[in-house]
Amino acid sequence: MSTRDIARAAVRAELAHVAFDLFRQEGFDQVTVNDIAAAAGVSRSTFLRYFSSKEEAVLGAFDAQGEQVADALRARPADEDDWTALRRALDLLTQHYHQDPHGTLAMARLVHGTPALCARQLRKQSVWRPLLAAALAARHGGRSSRSEGLRHAVLAAAAIDCLNVAVDTWTSSDGKLDLKTLVDDAFNVLQPR
């Protein structure tokens, strides 16, 4: 990364942090883009240079996560079955929950308690499905028949839903349950026999 990219990432992270703090204190719907900009000490146009909306200030990190999980999936051992490979690739995401359980719990509560954020998160995750399906196809040489393509898409969708159910359960437990175990349990329900 160039110095400019590093500086841009730092400003973006700071704006997201300020926005998140305001949302937690005031409630998502009560905070405007102008409020975030003022709290961060920047103009509205500066904020909008980094984020297209206040939703993006919260969920911007989700953009890269689908590609990161797809990369992790492609890197899984070739002899590993697809379902196990999907489960292990998602460890990349659950690590964030273990590294900062209080912060991720607060974020999960904010997202789940705000319909606009919940809908935007699901929309962002809908982009993950074709990425994960393509990564599964790549694990099998890159070409797949129509039925294999359907299978890959279904497995990808099911994996994302298993993750979401586990995160919802973890959030409902106030972070007391182990997220990794919850994801494992969710995947085991659909484990091919």
Per-residue pLDDT at 61 exceeds 90: no
| 39 lies in the same domain as 87 | no
* Per-residue pLDDT reduced to its tens digit, 147-184: 888 999 999 999 999 999 999 999 999 999 999 999 99
pTM above 0.75, yes or no: yes
Containing 15, the helix (H) or strand (E) segment is helix 3-26
| 72 lies in the same domain as 85 | yes
CATH of residue 22's domain is 1.10.10.60
| 68 lies in the same domain as 83 | yes
| 69 lies in the same domain as 125 | yes
Domain count within the chain: 2
Domain that holds residue 150: 61-189
Q: Any idea what the Cα angle at residue 103 is, between residues 126 and 14, rounded to 5°?
A: 85
Can you tell me the mean pLDDT for 125-140? 93
Mark which of 57, 73, 102 sits at the end of a domain.
57
| 79 lies in the same domain as 51 | no
| 38 lies in the same domain as 65 | no
